[in-house]
Amino acid sequence: MFYAKFFDNFVKMIRIILIAAFVLVTVLIIGNLLANRNQNSPRIFSYLLAIVIVALIAGFAIWLLPRLGINLSGFFQRILPLVNSLRGILPF
């Protein structure tokens, strides 16, 4: 009985670590892609690239999160109050 509960908590912890690692790697990759190293490159390409990357990440998250046991509607219900409180912190 103890081992089953331990294993269940262990699997949840691994899921959280994998999600955090995926988010960190994604942020680092997007940061490197959108870094404006070449001043001669057109800005439309960087905006289009950003839109495509965000769409791919959103699609991948919608596909992956239910397989990891995360309910998307419950996830959004928990995130929306956080976004609303961030709106009060931002100066604009």
Measured CA to CA, the distance from residue 38 to residue 36 in angstroms comes to: 6
The residue range of the domain holding 85 is 18-34+41-89
Q: Is residue 1 part of a domain?
A: no
Smallest Cα–Cα separation from 66: which of 74, 54, 56, 78? 74
pLDDT bucket at 80, cuts 50 / 70 / 90 = confident
Taking residues 38-51, what's their average pLDDT?
Answer: 67
Decide: helix, strand or coil at residue 35. Answer: coil
pTM of the shown model: 0.42
What is the structure's pLDDT at 12?
80
Q: Is residue 12 part of a domain?
A: no
Measured CA to CA, the distance from residue 72 to residue 79 in angstroms comes to: 10
What is the structure's pLDDT at 25?
83
Taking residues 49-73, what's their average pLDDT?
Answer: 81
Question: What total of structural domains would you count in the chain?
Answer: 1
Taking residues 26-53, what's their average pLDDT?
Answer: 70
Q: Is residue 76 part of a domain?
A: yes
Inform me whether the pLDDT recorded for 1 exceeds 60.
Answer: no
Q: Is residue 58 part of a domain?
A: yes
